[in-house]
Amino acid sequence: MSSLIQIFAKAPVAGQVKTRLAKDKGDAFALAVHQRLCETVIATALNSGADAVEVWTTDAAAFPYFEALGVACWLQQGLHLGTRMDFALRHGLARHDNVVLIGADAPSIDAAYLAEAFRGLEQSSVVIGPAADGGYVLVGVTTPAGFLFRDMPWGTPAVMGITLERLFSSGVGFHVLADRWDIDTLEDLQQHLPDWLS
């Protein structure tokens, strides 16, 4: 069974990443945090034991940056986050048995968490890693699950609840991991990574 980790990461462009953080600390600081998050999450994924790791980003101009970190790159496809996630997962499933997709802003994900996700996919079709803010930091699949991504109020605290409702009503077997946190705001940094502020 071949395993793939996909990391969704915006191209590292000042003014276009970590915009909520940038409101408090400025575009340059937000960009530096974004790059540090990307590098941290990519290193964790590469050390997880998965058969392959790739980054899905928003601009082909960012490919050299991510490739220098040791990963293959693909360009996100679609107008909305759900469409882009569904496309990437389907693309991954055409090449691998199990695919886990994570965001580049969740350094709380470690190798053990990723290993647990893949173990979950040995028994279930879908695995979800909830985020402390009501979304999720990880989704894994063994078969396409487009119903999870359509008409979702992304970026709101309702995402995880709606996702669970859809999973229950679909009859698809699923596994839920423990909560993890991600970094979106200055408060997130102060709470979880205060040393990054110095």
Residue 198, pLDDT score? 79
- Structure tokens belonging to residue 91: 């693309």
C-beta separation of 2 from 52 below 8 A: yes
Per-residue pLDDT tens for 98-130? 999 999 999 999 999 999 999 999 999 999 999
Tens digit of each residue's pLDDT (9 = 90 or more) over 124-182? 999 999 999 999 999 999 999 999 999 999 989 999 999 999 999 999 999 999 999 99
Q: Are 177 and 129 in contact (CB under 8 A)?
A: yes
Residue 37 neighbours by CB under 8 Å, 6+ apart: 104, 105, 107, 183
- Provide the pLDDT for residue 1: 84
Q: Which of 76, 21, 66 is nearest to 46 (CA)?
A: 66
Domains and CATH numbers, the chain: 3-191 (3.90.550.10)
Structure tokens at 141: 């699949």
